[in-house]
């Protein structure tokens, strides 16, 4: 396994829509292993492939520390909300270090996609796991969580980013 570099805010790959995976080969398995290791090393709960510079529709997650949370990966993910209930909570991103803001997401979602062999998989998730699914799928669509903030919080986050050491390095 290899630690991969996490792309930072401003990198065009983060606003690029990832392509559907059609080849379920050894390189895909290696990518997933590397992403899990990279996410763990960075202390995240999710990581999308384009965050490591790969524009394929894959993300990994680890919400196993929360009740009902799991650890794993999903390829070609598609989710839909179950019900109208939402949750509002702190959200951050490994590609935007040290920035976190209140974002509203659906509380419960149904996720479908594929495993490493191309077999269909599905699950229902609530709470942090549902937030992670929505956040990581946004990444694969080229959308950063900043777009999910209200205008005032987005301005505040952008101000913090512009003043951050990592952005000005």
List the catalytic residues. 136
**Is residue 135 annotated as involved in ligand binding?**
yes
> What's the full length of the chain, in residues?
169
**Is residue 139 annotated as involved in ligand binding?**
yes
Rounded to whole angstroms, the Cα distance separating 133 from 20 reads 17
**Is residue 65 annotated as involved in ligand binding?**
no
Cβ pair 36, 73 in contact under 8 A = yes
Cβ pair 167, 96 in contact under 8 A = no
Rounded to whole angstroms, the Cα distance separating 40 from 48 reads 13
The CA distances from residue 121 to 30, 39, 59, 83, in Å, are 20, 22, 14, 21
Detail the residues annotated as belonging to a binding site: 93, 135, 139
Detail the residues annotated as belonging to a binding site for Fe cation: 93, 135, 139
């Amino acid at each position: 396994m290899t630690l991969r570099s996490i792309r930072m805010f401003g990198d065009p790959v983060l606003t690029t829509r990832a392509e559907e995976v059609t080849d379920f080969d050894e390189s895909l398995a290696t990518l997933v292993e590397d992403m899990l290791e990279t996410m763990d090393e960075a202390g995240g709960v999710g990581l999308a492939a384009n965050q490591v510079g790969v524009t394929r529709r894959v993300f990994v997650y680890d919400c196993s520390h929360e009740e009902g949370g799991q650890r794993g990966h999903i390829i070609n993910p598609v989710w839909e909300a179950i019900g109208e209930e939402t949750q509002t909570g702190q959200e951050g991103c490994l590609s935007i270090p040290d920035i976190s803001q209140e974002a509203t997401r659906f509380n419960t979602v149904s996720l479908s996609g594929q495993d490493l062999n191309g077999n269909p998989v599905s699950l229902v998730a609530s709470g942090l796991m549902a937030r992670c699914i929505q956040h990581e799928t946004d990444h694969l669509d080229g959308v950063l969580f900043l777009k999910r903030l209200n205008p005032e919080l987005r301005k505040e986050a952008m101000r913090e980013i512009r003043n951050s050491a990592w952005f000005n390095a």
